Every structure is written in structure tokens, then in C-alpha cells.
Amino acid sequence: MRAAYIHIPFCQHICHYCDFNKVFIDRQPVDLYLDYLEKEIVNTLQVAPFQQLDTIFVGGGTPTALNMAQTEKLLFVINKHLVPRTVNYELTFEANPGDLPKEKLQLLLDGGVNRLSFGVQSFNDELLQSIGRAHTKRDVLTALTEAQEVGFTNLNVDLIYSLPGQTLEDLQDTLETAFTLDVQHFSAYSLIIEPKTVFYNLMRRGKLPLPGEENEANMYEMVIDAMSRNGYSQYEISNFSKPGYESRHNLTYWNNEYYYGFGAGAHSYVDGKRIQNVGPLKKYFETIDAAGFPYLSAHDVTKEEQMEEEMFLGLRKEKGVHKTTFAAKYGISVHEVFEKQIREQVKHGLLEETEHTIRLTRAGKLLGNEVFQTFLME
């Protein structure tokens, strides 16, 4: 086991596109939640201990929505149970630019956090307001500057493109601002309209002016080219970094490796099982009280499913799927399992094969989901 994800389901504001498990933080039992989170961690480690965790990611929700005392309590739990302080590890907190006074930045750094991931999305204040974000461009610039002044040297900025009303010119402006920030990593995602979100309801009523598939593809190519020109290597479909600053946590997912998932609504992949936790807070507390674990479901992943996942997760990486690694993990060559799919996608120009790897082409990145679906067996 190399990785752990910790879910903090509290937000000061709810974004119009977000479908993650979250609640407004006002009048919520935050301290009680942290107590139960620790119970879940302790109980899990008793049945599935780790030798060394390389990466811990605290996401949400908005982890930085916690007050100073709650943040200190969470850091204490992490350091007590999950962080062996003698190893070189990656500890990331997702951060909202409006929630981070310098005192909290210092608390995070002193508590072992060595990577911050800022949910920026855009540098256009009108767009930010239209998607439900509470921060402004100025807030982002201030937060990043203060994080660097405190001593953070590993910063990620999340961007979203294909937003309602967004133009290519607007995205270009956002990218130009982004490259002035001296950060080490960018994640750039196309907007996905999920059920049970404000945007989904607007789309159903025909009131969501999306840019369209052609503009979305043009925006993605703009992102790829701009990142390359500015020294950020694309190591995964939506992720770009300076050398040595790839997200070790996300690589755990794309390498199809095991990871813990702690907290309400979190997902785990442990000892061949994919586990989903219950989401509502009251149910989370009650399930831990009754069973010791907050599981909603647990699925034994078959060998066939593991091989499918190896392909559609591994192909997200710029390096693609390594044929020797596949054979070592599953005792069979990738061509014996997926010969037809590989041949067809190479013919269509969406995959390319070298002596050692199979990976997406540039055209394949634009049609990634279609390529991935071909590796789902009957």
C-alpha cells in the first residue's frame, strides 16, 4: 500500500459543476466527523496495515474550509497514524484560494504538508462567479504568493476549460496569467456536466451555453501546446508538470495500484477489493458505530476487470501501458487479451505501439474515452 486519500466533505460554497460528496460547513458536526475519521483510519490499519505510505492526498469538499483548531486536529490524526516522518513522502492538501490566511498556510507547512493543490479553474472573474466560485483572480495571486513566501515549493493549480460562455480568447488569457505564477504543476480538465448539479439542471432546461465539442477539442489542444511551450511536460491526459513534480498520488490511480480511501463517500482499492464508503454524515457515523467501517459496498475485482482497468487507466499516462509490466502483473501478454482492440485503434491512428509500450497518439488523447471503452470486455 503506497497511497491514502482523505475526504473532507465540507465547503464554504457549493460550485455549480461539483458532484463530489459535500455539504455546507455551517452548523455541521466537523469535530465529530474528525473523531470518526480517526476511528475509521485506526480500524482499517488494524486489518490492512501498510509498510510505507509514499503519498497522502486530502481532498473534498474543501479541506481548507476547516478552522485553525480543526485543521490542527486533522494534521495530528494524519501524523499520528499515517505519516512515517523519516521517509520522503508527498502530503497534499486541496486548497481554496479564499480560505488560506498566512497563519493557516504556516500551520499546514509545520504539520508536514508539502504540496498544495489550488482550485483556481479560471482567471476571469465573471466566469468564476458564473460557475459558483467565491474567489477572484486577486485572491488566487495573493494565496499563491503567500504560500511561496511561507515556504511551499510544490504547488498545483487546477484549471477547467469548456466552461459555459468561455471562448478560446478567454482561455488564452487564463493560460497566460497561469504561466506567470511560478508553480510546478497544472491540472487542466474539460468541464463534465454531472447529474444532481446546478449545471445539469440548467442544461436540461436549455440554459447552459456550452462551447461545443469542436471548441472543446480546440481548447484542449491549446492547453497542450501552451504547456509544452512553457516547460510543463504532459505526463497524463489532464496533467502537466515541471520535471520531478508529477503527482505521485494520482500516479497511484493511473498505475492501478492499491490505495486507502478514508472519509464519507471515499473510495478505496485494498487487497483486490474496490470499496465505497457511505456518503451522508449521519450514516457515516452510524455505520462506523455498528460495524467499525463505513462501507456502502465492496466489490471483489476479477482478473478480467483488473486487466481492463490496467488499460483504460494506464493509457491516460503519456508513457502508456508497459507491456512487460502488464505481463508480470497478470501472467499473460497484453496482446493475448486485447489484440483486436489494439490493432483496430492503431489502424485508426488513436494508439501507437513501440517495442515496450502502447500509448495514445495526439489524436487518441482527443478521443480518449472512446478508446478506453474499447477495452471493456463482455
pLDDT given at position 21: 57
pLDDT tens digits along 7-47? 999 877 656 555 565 576 788 999 999 999 999 999 999 99
**Which phi and psi (to 5°) does residue 69 adopt?**
-65, -40
Give the pLDDT confidence score for residue 378 in this predicted structure: 63
DSSP state of 317: B
Tell me the C-alpha distance between 323 and 357, whole Å.
6
Cα 338 to Cα 333: distance, rounded to the nearest angstrom: 9
The pLDDT, as a whole number, for residue 85 is 59
Burial of 191 (0-12, 13-18, 19+ CB in 10 A): buried
Contact at 8 Å (CB) between 8 and 92?
Answer: no
Name residues of the chain where pLDDT drops below 70.
13-22, 24, 84-86, 200, 378
Measured CA to CA in angstroms, residue 29 lies from 10, 63, 120, 199, 264 at distances of: 10, 14, 27, 28, 13
**β-strand 90-95 against 55-60: which pairing, if any?**
parallel
Complete domains list, the chain, with CATH: 3-253 (3.80.30.20), 316-373 (1.10.10)
171, with CB counted inside 10 A (0-12, 13-18, 19+), is buried
| 61 cis-preceded (ω within 30 degrees of 0) | yes
Span 77-128, pLDDT tens digits:
999 999 865 578 999 999 999 889 999 999 999 999 999 999 999 999 898 8
What pLDDT does 304 receive? 96
Q: Are 21 and 33 in contact (CB under 8 A)?
A: no
- Report residue 82: phi and psi, to 5°: -120, -25
Characterize 19-35 residue by residue with b for buried, 16 or more Cβ atoms within 10 angstroms of its Cβ, and e for exposed: eebbbebeeeebeebbe
